[in-house]
Amino acid sequence: MSISHSISDLAQELGVTTRTIRFYEEQGMLAPERRGQERIYSARDRVTLMLILRGKRIGFSLAECKELIDLYDPSGNRKQLDYFLAKITERREQLARQMLDIQQMQQELDTAEQRCLNAMKELPAAS
């Protein structure tokens, strides 16, 4: 017998809302079985949802998550792993650029702050 999950079970276990799970279903990334109005999620759906959430946490777009999941091949996932490694490299490069931008902004803020403090020293004391 295969393991199945209700939408509320998955939401609670993974710390997301049921609306989030329905959104991923609408995007074609999850395909629960239907029993009337009830959605029954398979173990594969659970793993897929976990991969989506992990991908989102590390900054992948939903399209990148979908592409990665679509590359899954149970007989061997070299293509999926190569894609994932390339995306990790891209993400690291993007973060490095963002860190540099942040450092430059901090320097600009430091300069602006120092100019303000110097200008305040030159003003007459408030009475």
pLDDT over 70 (residue 2): no
Distance CA 70, CA 86 (A): 16
Q: Model's pTM, two decimal places?
A: 0.71
- 127 — pLDDT class (breaks 50, 70, 90): low
Ordered by start, the domain boundaries in the chain are: 1-60, 71-127
Top mean pLDDT of 37-46, 59-68, 73-82, 92-101 is at 92-101
Do the Cβ atoms of 52 and 69 come closer than 8 Å? Answer: yes
pLDDT over 90 (residue 109): yes
Paired residues of 35 in beta bridges: 38
Residues 25-54: pLDDT tens digits? 999 999 999 988 888 999 889 989 999 999
* pLDDT score, position 56: 92
**Strand pairing category for 4-6 and 33-35:** unpaired
Q: Which CATH number fits domain 1-60: 3.50.50.60, 2.60.40.10, 1.10.1660.10, 3.40.50.720?
A: 1.10.1660.10
